[in-house]
Amino acid sequence: MSVISQTVEPFDLVIFGGTGDLAVRKLLPAMFHRFVDGQIPASSRILGIAREALDDDGYRALLRESLRDAGEASQLDVFLQHVGYRPLDARKSDGWADFADLMARHPDHVRVFYLSTSPELFVDICARLGDLGLNKGASRVVLEKPIGRDLASANEINDAVGRVFDESQTYRIDHYLGKETVQNLLALRFGNALFEPLWNAGHIDHVQITVAETLGVGHRGAYYDRAGALRDMLQNHMLQLLCMVAMEPPASLAPDAVRDEKLKVLRSLTPIDDSNAAQLTVRGQYRAGVAEGASVPGYPDELGDTRSGTETFVALKAEIANWRWSGVPFYLRTGKRLPERVSEIVVVFKAVPHSIFDPSNGPLEQNRLVLRLQPDEGVKLWLTIKHPGPGGLRLRHVPLDMTFAEAFGVQQRDAYERLLLDVVRGNPTLFMRRDEVEAAWRWADPILAAWAAAGDSPRPYAAGSWGPSAAVALIERDGRTWHEDNE
């Protein structure tokens, strides 16, 4: 299938933290793919920035390894001609004037400043860009997560960035929103007459959102131990997914039309605080076990700190207090060292009101719409049918399966590809507005406070299991079970 592309204006993409893991593993390969698809205009430049003393060739050599599999060698050489490097320290003034001269060579270019550094540097970098007047005109800044560790620190970052860049220039990235499946959720919900009439408390029993990783904390221990699963995954990615499922139909796909509706969902979440956190949330921390066929150490050993009270797993029951969703629980769970790497949204419909079938025909299961974000992005709609052939009326629950790669023969693209070019095009629909980030923290902060006040430790779970047994009990208490793809 041919690649259909939209045009892109010439741009300068400046990646602060250009030698870091995210830039090398994700951002540069994403840009290389866009180049291979003919979407990088000839004069466009991509500039890596970090403190390491490299020159352009040194940086290109560093990138070659991670770009090797993303395209052909001859294409890579041409792509790398677009790529350069400047050593700069966000905290020191040396070299910034030269950097401004370099930027001034193409005053007509769209300028994208991607802050792929720790958030403590956002303030310094933005202040310097402002001093150099690089915030003027078609300039945009991209902020990586985490935006703060609570509402107060998020406000500090947003205030400091806001002193230099207008909100309309600020792109808070959540790469989950760039995934095909999430955009497909919009298409399914609002492009088909079939779903929207059923998309409410009258017909939906509950929703599950799972983001499971098999990996442990690895070399990100220092960052992760200060964050934990709720801050790292749930407050941002998972709440954004919840918003996409639960929002009212926006009037259009205009950026603020969509973001206004997501904000209303965040503001309608029922508070979880010390009055109900013990019933509605479960925290866990992995211990030694078996993951991906190998014995692995527990979180305290991996971290080198046996006293850590950081959660590597969280499951919770959220509710949205509005007409559409009254009484429909949203069960969210995420964790490290779980048995599978999977991110999915499962919408479980109510049971039929009356069964005409005999129990001997087999169990009558509830319809489910499963939107899988990774791996194998796609959608499955589970339906009840008659088992084909003779043998009487035997009921079977089977999925209508649309694994995108198989159905459309399209190679899966990383979400960063779409999102980076959305910034260049000036389309913030799939980025978080400041008030969304604030509303998400306003809901998450009391959960964190309740856990801190309870003073207990996260429940241990064996690496390679689905978290503490209390997470199973959380949903089973309500007569439901976590979805398993037992096709």
Q: Which is nearer to ligand NAP, 91 or 396 (CB)?
A: 91
Say if CB 273 and CB 447 are below 8 A apart.
yes
Least distance from ligand NAP to the Cβ atom of residue 18, Å? 6
Of 145, 172, 179, 287, the one binding ligand NAP by CB under 6 A: 145
Which part of the chain contacts ligand NAP (CB under 6 A), choosing from 49-57, 150-158, 254-262, 456-464? 49-57
Q: Count H helices and E strands in the chain, helices first.
A: 18, 17
Residue that the structure tokens 């909100």 belong to: 167
Q: Which is nearer to ligand NAP, 18 or 329 (CB)?
A: 18
Which part of the chain contacts ligand NAP (CB under 6 A), choosing from 106-114, 139-147, 244-252, 462-470? 139-147
Total binding residues toward ligand NAP, as defined by CB under 6 A:
23
Residue that the structure tokens 């007047």 belong to: 133
235 binds ligand NAP (CB under 6 A): no
Least distance from ligand NAP to the Cβ atom of residue 97, Å? 16
Footprint on residues 71-130 left by ligand NAP (CB under 6 A): 88-91, 116-119, 121
Strand order from edge to edge, sheet including 459-462: 395-403, 378-386, 368-374, 342-349, 204-212, 330-335, 313-318, 281-287, 459-462
User: Integer distance in angstroms from the first to the last C-alpha of the chain?
Assistant: 29
Question: What is the rounded distance in angstroms from the CA atom of residue 126 to the CA atom of residue 90?
Answer: 9
Residue 334: CA count within 13 A, CB half-sphere:
20
**E strand or H helix that includes residue 66:** helix 56-67
Which listed residue (175, 237, 354, 387) is catalytic? 237
Least distance from ligand NAP to the Cβ atom of residue 96, Å? 11
50 binds ligand NAP (CB under 6 A): yes
Phi then psi dihedrals of residue 443, to 5 deg: -85, -35
Q: Residue 140 pairs with which residues in a beta bridge? A: 112
Q: Among 83, 172, 84, 85, which residue's Cα sits nearest to residue 122?
A: 172
Is 106 annotated as catalytic? no
Residue nearest to ligand NAP (CB): 20
* 254 token code pair: 């205009």
Q: Which is nearer to ligand NAP, 117 or 367 (CB)?
A: 117
- x/- site string to ligand NAP, residues 2 to 41, per CB under 6 A? --------------xxxxxxxx------------------
Supply the residues annotated as catalytic. Answer: 237
> Site residues (CB under 6 A) for ligand NAP?
16-23, 50-52, 88-91, 116-119, 121, 144-146
